Structure 1
Amino acid sequence: YSACSGVPVLETAVEYLVNSRYNRPFAPDLVVLSPVPEQMKGQELALKRVSPEEDHFALLQATARDLKKNAFVEEWATVWRSVPCTFLVQLKDNGEHFWLALKRREKIGADFETMYPSLVQRIYQLGVFWIQASTREKRKLNELELHEAFSKNLVVSSGERVTEKFVKVGMQIFKNILSVTALKELLIAGDETFGKKSPLDYLYKLQSFVQCSHNDADKIEWCLLAMFDLLLNNKVKPGELTQDNLAGKKGGKG
C-alpha cells in the first residue's frame, strides 16, 4: 500500500525505468513502514511502502513485458522470490508514513544535485577506471574493452549513455585535455560555479571546443574563459549554448 496514495505517478517516469533499469531482470530495494506485530494482525493495508512507487510499477511492467515473450522466466522468478525489502517499525499510526515517503523523495533530489557526476566527473570516472583496470590486467585496456566494462556494470544511468563513441571521445578528452592543469582547473571551476546548470552537460559540446581550437590548449582555454564570462555577465543563457552553436554550425565561425 502506498504511503502517498492519491499522488499521481508519471507514466513517462515508469516507462523510463522499464526501458533502462529494468531492461533485464532487476530487483529494486523497497522500504516499507510496518506497525508493531501485535497491531498489524487483521489490520487491512497495514504495510505502507515509503520508497518511491515508480520502482514498483516499473518492476511489474517489465516482468509482464518479458513473460509475454517467455523471456527471462527463471531470472524474474528469482527476482520476485528475493526482492530486498527494509522494514521500518512504526509504534503508532500518527501519519509518519506520509512524511517518510516525502522525505525520501526530497533526499533523492538533494542527492542528485550534490552527488550525481557532472560531465567532467563522468570523464574522470572513465579515465580512472581505465587506469585501475589496466594496472590490474598489466596491459592497457582498449576502447572496446572499456565500453564493455561500463555497459556490463553501469546498468542504468540518467546521464548521457556510455556508448562506444562516448568512450572514444571521453578518453581523448581525459588524455589530452584533463591532463593540462589549466584546462582541468578551469573545467572543475565551471562545475563549482554552475553546478547542474553548466552548459557543458554533453560530451560533444566539450568536444566542440577541442575541434574548433584544433587541440591547441591555449585556444581551448581562451574559448572556455570567454564562454564562462558571457554566462557570468548574463550575456547568454546556458540553454542557448547548444552543440550546434558552440560548433559554429549556424553559419558562424564557432
Structure 2
Amino acid sequence: MRNLTLGYSPCPNDTFIFNALVHGLVSAAGLSFRERLEDVETLNRLALAGELDVSKVSYHALGYLRDEYTLLRSGGALGRGCGPLVVTKGAASMDELRGKPIAVPGRYTTAALLLRLLDPSLDTLVYLPFHEIMGAVAKGQVAAGVIIHESRFTFPEYGLTKLIDLGDWWEGETGCPIPLGGIVTRRSLGRETVAAIDNALRASVAHARANPGAATGYIRAHSQEMSDEVCAAHIDLYVNDFSFDLGPEGETAVTTLLGRAEAAGIIPRSTAPLFNVL
C-alpha cells in the first residue's frame, strides 16, 4: 500500500467529494491517502513548497505549479454562476475602488487573479483569510472585499452590497465557465500512479453523487458553524458534472484562464503539458 499526502479544504464541496476516497469506500489501486484539511491559500502555498503529493489548489496557483504538478480531470471546482463576488459597504461602483484597499482571500487565489484581469489598476490588495473578509469590509478596515465559498450566501447578513460577480464577468468575456480550483498531483509519481489517482477520485465523486447522505457526518464535522441550508447550497453550487470530469469545455476554460494570465504577465509561461506526465 502506497500512502500519499492529500490536501483539500474543509469546505462542504471538498469533504463531500473526498469522503469516499479517504474512507476507503472506493478502490484506489493500492493507494491510501493521508488527508490534510486547510484553507485554499494554505494549500496553494503547501503545493508551491512541494509539501503535498496531491492537492486542491486555486487555478491561479496552478500557473506557478505546472512544471512540478499535473492537473487531474476530476474533483475540482469549475462551473457557471459560482464565481467570486466583490462586495462593499459604501462604494457604488468599481471605479470608486481605485487606490483603495481591497481584501482578497490570498495572493494565489483565483479570486485575486480575476480581480487583476478585470482591472489591473485595482492594485491595493490586502491578503486576508477568506472567512475574515466580510468582517473587515463591514468594519471599514478595507473599502471592498472579494469573497468566495459560502460567503456568497451570507454577505447580506453583514450589511454588504455586491458590486460585481467576477464569475459573471468572466463568462461574459470568454463564454467559458469559471475555473476556481483543481486537483493536482506530483508529476514525479509517474504516469500510472497519476492515472490511478484520477480514476479513484472520479469514483469518489460518483460515489458522493450516488450516495449524497454518506458523507454527512464527515461534512458536518468540518462545517459546524454553517447552517444545514448553507451547507447544502454550497455543495449544490460547487459540485457538478465538471467535478466528475472537466471534459472539453472545462479544459478550454482552464487553458483560457491560464493563457490570459500569461498574456497579462501575472503567471510565468510554461511549456509543460497540462495533464500529461513529463
User: What is the TM-score normalised by the length of structure 1?
Assistant: 0.20
Larger strand fraction of residues: 2
Larger helix fraction of residues: 1
Q: Radius of gyration: which is bigger?
A: 1
